[in-house]
Amino acid sequence: MAVRRTSRAQQKARKSGSAGKENVAAEKVDNESGQQTAPAPPAAAQPLVERTPIPREDVILPLEPYTLVSCQWRDDKMHPARIVDRREVNGEYQYYVHYRKLNRRMDEWVSVDKLDLDTVIPPEPIDPNDPKSKKRRYEDHSEEEGEGHEAFDEQELRHHEEVTKVKNIGKIELGRYQMDTWYFSPLPQEYNGVNTLYFCEYDLAFFKKRDEMLRHLKKVRNLHPPGAEIYRHKGISMFEIDGRREKEYCQNLCYLAKLFLDHKTLTYDVDFFLFYVMCECDERGAHITGYFSKEKYSEEGRNLACILTLPAYQRRGYGKFLISFSYELSKIEKKVGTPERPLSDLGLVSYRGYWTRTLLTILKEMEGPVSIKELSEMTMIKPEDIISTLQHLKMIQYIKGQHVICAAPHAVEAHLKACGSPGLPVEPSKIIWTPHDHSKD
């Protein structure tokens, strides 16, 4: 698939010379799949069911789940919320609320004094003779929040929300940091409802009490993750851990990660995954900051399945480092890679940032024609991801059977500036790694 680079002025002249005989927009590349599809009209937004608050004197306490009400958030402002669950503590009811315009990680338990009872909208009653009434109650809130679950069908989404609707752990302590949790994690039943869960930062064993964790810590001999250290540079190390060989550590890592990731899959067999754990190293050992995982064998060429930077270590460029590291491993393997789909909104932003910086840096420095295949071979980025990125940047068009890149220097500079910092750079020469041998599994 040959690709020619042209300036925008050249393309404009070409378009005017063709008298508009070919409609370039009639065939374009879909941002997610990379497949050529006819442009579809934008989907009409589905309006929410409009209902009005009831008079204050008609409000009956305790409020029922699915009730809509304004609630005071941590910014001291009232936000539209939905009651997800309720519980009785010392004779007083507490309500687990979801702020309808905020991400689910902001959900929390609140007392009744945080609620504006003048804004109560009771849930729609369920008519036992109307099988669709329960569905209508669900649909009344399923489209309002935009939780990034577009790939779920209705049944999957209902099951996911029912299982994960209430966070079961309040916060964790890991090393010298305490972190508020964001989501439900499928920990063993006896840990549900624990306010603070204490993790050993070296082997990720977890405990209900801090003194239990400290007693365990005295017995720990290896002050780093298990597995092989495959990278060390300027105080940062990467460890490769085989899910089959270190099952308990990897399962604990998944429990930990799920507290900060809202994924459809709550548990999976770690045997079929490799885990790459990033650590900050000092005289006290190697302290986990984040990780990514990937399948040992992927027919689709996936070089990353799951990625997380722990909240205490965010805004340091570590997420960009992990994405970059996954592609450096792909270069060693000499295999084109792509992340597992579907990508969340934030995941897509992160990857587009990496793809944009990588591709435009090459286009800025290269002279003469370049093909999508050549770009893929240099970067190990999947051709479909290259096409979707350049289309998102409005720097590629499909004309007369071939993709044409419009890489005007000023446009390249503007996009490179807009995509921000590259984060913590990976030093490829410091990677000591051999690709996994599937025949030994």
Catalytic residues: 340
- Which strands form 177-180's sheet, in the order they lie side by side? 177-180, 169-174, 194-199, 206-207
Q: Which of 46, 93, 45, 51 is nearest to 68 (CA)?
A: 51
Label the pairing between strands 194-199 and 206-207. Answer: antiparallel
Q: Which of 275, 286, 292 is nearest to 232 (CA)?
A: 286
DSSP, residue by residue, 44-101: PP-PPPP--PPPGGG--SSPPTT-EEEEE-TTSSEEEEEEEEEEEETTEEEEEEEETT
249 burial type by CB count under 10 A (0-12 exposed, 13-18 middle, 19+ buried): buried
Backbone angles phi, psi at 256, to 5 degrees: -65, -45
52 burial type by CB count under 10 A (0-12 exposed, 13-18 middle, 19+ buried): exposed
Task: Tally DSSP H helices, then E strands, for the chain.
Answer: 10, 21
Question: What b/e sequence results for 310-343 when a residue is b if at least 16 CB atoms lie within 10 Å of its CB, and e otherwise?
Answer: bbebeeebbbbbbbbbbbbbbbebeebbbbbeeb
Number of residues assigned to the chain: 441
Tokens of 57: 């004197």
Backbone angles phi, psi at 89, to 5 degrees: -130, 115
Q: Is the dihedral of CA 390, 340, 203, 429 positive or negative?
A: negative
